[in-house]
Chain A
């Protein structure tokens, strides 16, 4: 995939987002009016009504999978979405519109971490960095409704712990497809192909997930960890919605502070051409997930062990080693 904004990390960009927790089962009323300035943790909507998911019979493949109602994993479903509960802005900026369904559109400046795969509603919460057991830093308190950043691969147990802990969302590098399917109890192919991700929300566990590197056991790049560390404690907006056909991808939108917003900084327009010096990620093959810089671009096609000939580049990986790969398996990330 090419990231919708060009690169996987965007440190400063104007954004306009509709604040809507997702799904067709909610009715909300706005608590702010158009033109108002809002802060990330400020409530901007109140939930008026939640419709219980109906127990639908088995339906043809094109319809929703049957809801499993109260037996969804995680009895905490609904604690953050009870009638009368409020929804925080997640962004710092100005309200520019109130929509017919009661949602609020906010415009501001933010940093964005683009994900490859994700799932779940749009949620807002403070970014909290998870510390592995035994690390030198002790684990800080993880507040309910936090967006937990796990700077590495997830597994099924970790997701279940996150769900039962009342965490609103998880940002991690990757997870195996088997563990993710076991947690979501749905076919990932259906999830990725669904043209309207909002339709599935009612049947999924109430935990938003964003994977920066996708499926497998790929580590999170250092630059991504550094950016997330920089903004620890900041209330951010996380959306897990993914639809390949509708070109919807998960994202973590981190509002810039007032001081950062006042800075006169020109940010370069992300370039997506594969050029010498471009920071790239290998997205397939034996070195999937490896990050490096393009060192040399071959003018003639190169032969690979599969027998395929393709235009290729030599990249220098983060550990200094050199790798020759076809251009189509590279994505520019910076």
Chain B
């Protein structure tokens, strides 16, 4: 595939793709275009291994006045040029291939999450199970689903608000049309079998709503480039009738009838294709970015999920990855046996979508994480400012702590709303934090405490910080140069090991002895620490240090083998930038109701862990 890049001076014009294969690329540029920030990394060969050479960041330029995502990419690349001293862009284009001087690159790949989530309305005979399945089908995408059950379906299944009179039905139609105006969905998913007393009427009404919405848009002079895409996953015997009814108003694609988890794959694939076509490809500057790369830009959520699955299987452990971005929060769990639980909340983040966090959880839930008193007005002012200026960085400790409080609630909300049968039993061996407020936390203890507070792991788990924000980029690299992705991941992406956490749980009376921890270092030194309930202890165990761990819990306390059962690690555990952390605050974590007491405890925990 021809890559439209600038040939280096002195080079003859020829098809770059014929000169090398992606697998043998010597230098790779990878960009991750987020809603607010664009991050670019330069990967290169060092002694036969791919390594991170340099990285740069710049504000994303998809919106006015730039309206061209390539400008932000080039600004970030210019930072890399300053660091490395090599020329990588010329006249607004990427130099390729790489020269002997080190100028230029052989390959450029991109992951994009700018452009927002795909908005999908779920219509028809939408039972609670079908609503849940629809949400699961898009749970690995940047997607929002909004359920609008048809009036006939609601009237049969009853909403507890009295009889469905003709006036009420008319009002419901108006309300649904208002919802469509407000949501401005990218696509519709029609679901439901015709096996309820309402028969096929809900499917017919779903089509009618689509027609009404499209006619409404025409009346208001809203121009559409293409017909509204409709994924039909309803009763198979009505697919032709649906096509006929929607002819000229919507573009109908039939997918497998959605009745159980088995059909999630086809629905998910169809939604992914729509997301790539109607969201990613509409980002201003996409065509230019596409021309720079042999592979189409991938959605950033897909990039992260690929990496999580790889890490889980490669290291044979349960991995949880956390990404709190400006507009989206993702928590992805990958199991060593291949299980995968993606939880992507496309509506909350700590940038433009920070307001949604406050609306969903309220002032008290955010304020509970702060070691100082804050008024509702100050918190709301903070939220408004972040919504309007999502790119700002906190200059005061107060602002930083507020941002981190919101990050905690973003993770908690994502897990709460994405929770299903498997996630409750998932016990992470490794927690990986990447991007945004976590990667930019000034102190490692802040990141660790944030993860402990938000995820509340139990037992023994390791924590790693992806400070270079490579994880979400490596998935994109893996699509064209998998060897490079693996090597950079092992060499550079998971370098910032925070440490190992031991979290006892069970009946932990406050202020009582919770457990004794014996640590035997590799050099033979031994220490023994008594940990009281309600406290955090940090035992020195630096990065590149290892030790054997023995745990002696109180009779009612469990460290993973049952209440009161002693545990001795079969292998040495690794240290980290924070150390060995014993979190005996109890699970679930209960914060004091009294403000003064709670703030004092929070300060104490922050000081102990180095936050």
B392 contacts A99, CB within 8 Å?
Answer: no
**A288 to B396 Cα, complex, angstroms:** 13
Chain B: interface secondary structure? helix
A199 contacts B178, CB within 8 Å?
Answer: yes
Cβ contacts under 8 Å, B395 to chain A:
284-286, 304-306, 308, 325-326, 329
A5 on interface, CB distance cutoff 8 Å? yes
The residue from B182, B388, B397 contacting A62, defined by CB atoms under 8 A apart: B182
Cβ contacts under 8 Å, B381 to chain A:
176-177, 215-216
Least CB separation from B397: chain A residue? A306
CB contact list, B477-521 vs A, under 8 A: none
B387 contacts A192, CB within 8 Å?
Answer: yes
B400 contacts A306, CB within 8 Å?
Answer: yes
A101 contacts B355, CB within 8 Å?
Answer: no
The residue from B64, B387, B394, B400 contacting A247, defined by CB atoms under 8 A apart: B64
**A177 to B384 Cα, complex, angstroms:** 8
**A223 to B88 Cα, complex, angstroms:** 40
Give 21 A-B contacts (CB < 8 Å), ordered by A residue. A63-B179, A64-B178, A100-B219, A117-B384, A178-B377, A178-B380, A187-B359, A188-B380, A189-B383, A189-B387, A192-B384, A245-B116, A245-B352, A284-B395, A286-B395, A304-B393, A306-B396, A306-B400, A307-B443, A326-B395, A328-B392
Question: Known: A285-B399, A306-B396, A307-B400. Is A63-B359 also a contact (CB below 8 A)?
Answer: no
Cβ contacts under 8 Å, B174 to chain A:
54
CB contact list, A188-227 vs B, under 8 A: 188-190, 192-196, 199, 214-216
Nearest 7 CB-CB pairings of A with B: A307-B442, A189-B355, A4-B64, A284-B392, A306-B400, A6-B65, A283-B389
User: Closest CB of chain B to A54's CB: distance in Å?
Assistant: 7
The residue from A192, A272, A309 contacting B442, defined by CB atoms under 8 A apart: A309
User: Closest CB of chain A to B171's CB: distance in Å?
Assistant: 8
B608 on interface, CB distance cutoff 8 Å? no
B59 contacts A328, CB within 8 Å?
Answer: yes
> A314-331 vs B: 1/0 string, CB under 8 Å?
000000000001101101
A100 contacts B65, CB within 8 Å?
Answer: no
A189, A190, A288: residue with the most chain B Cβ atoms closer than 10 Å: A189
The residue from B66, B179, B183, B220 contacting A272, defined by CB atoms under 8 A apart: B66
Cβ contacts under 8 Å, A305 to chain B:
395-397
A3 on interface, CB distance cutoff 8 Å? yes
User: Closest CB of chain A to B372's CB: distance in Å?
Assistant: 14
**A258 to B442 Cα, complex, angstroms:** 57
The residue from A4, A56, A215, A286 contacting B384, defined by CB atoms under 8 A apart: A215
A140 on interface, CB distance cutoff 8 Å? no
The residue from B220, B394, B397 contacting A24, defined by CB atoms under 8 A apart: B220
B59, B387, B388: residue with the most chain A Cβ atoms closer than 10 Å: B388
A244 on interface, CB distance cutoff 8 Å? yes
**A300 to B264 Cα, complex, angstroms:** 49
The residue from B182, B358, B392, B442 contacting A329, defined by CB atoms under 8 A apart: B392
A270 on interface, CB distance cutoff 8 Å? yes
B377 contacts A199, CB within 8 Å?
Answer: no
**A63 to B146 Cα, complex, angstroms:** 11
Q: What's the interface size class on A, roughly? A: 35 or more
Least CB separation from A100: chain B residue? B221
Q: Which residues from chain A sit less than 8 Å from chain B, CB to CB? A: 1-6, 24, 54, 56-57, 59, 61-64, 99-101, 103, 116-117, 176-178, 187-190, 192-196, 199, 214-216, 244-245, 247, 270, 272, 283-286, 288, 299, 304-310, 325-326, 328-329, 331
B440 on interface, CB distance cutoff 8 Å? yes
**A24 to B222 Cα, complex, angstroms:** 13
B221, B383, B385, B393: residue with the most chain A Cβ atoms closer than 10 Å: B393
Question: Known: A284-B385, A308-B395. Is A5-B65 also a contact (CB below 8 A)?
Answer: yes
Question: Known: A4-B64, A177-B381. Is A306-B178 also a contact (CB below 8 A)?
Answer: no
Q: A62-B183, A100-B220, A328-B59 are in contact. List 9 more A-B contacts (CB 8 A).
A: A2-B65, A4-B64, A62-B146, A189-B383, A285-B396, A308-B393, A310-B393, A326-B395, A331-B389
The residue from B182, B219, B442 contacting A194, defined by CB atoms under 8 A apart: B182
A64 contacts B440, CB within 8 Å?
Answer: no
User: Closest CB of chain B to A106's CB: distance in Å?
Assistant: 15
Least CB separation from B218: chain A residue? A100
B356 on interface, CB distance cutoff 8 Å? yes
Least CB separation from B375: chain A residue? A178
**A308 to B399 Cα, complex, angstroms:** 11
> B430-468 vs A: 1/0 string, CB under 8 Å?
000000000010110000000000000000000000000
User: Closest CB of chain A to B603's CB: distance in Å?
Assistant: 16
**A24 to B174 Cα, complex, angstroms:** 13
Cβ contacts under 8 Å, B569 to chain A:
none
The residue from A3, A5, A199, A326 contacting B182, defined by CB atoms under 8 A apart: A199
User: Closest CB of chain A to B610's CB: distance in Å?
Assistant: 11
The residue from B64, B179, B355, B380 contacting A193, defined by CB atoms under 8 A apart: B355
B63 on interface, CB distance cutoff 8 Å? yes
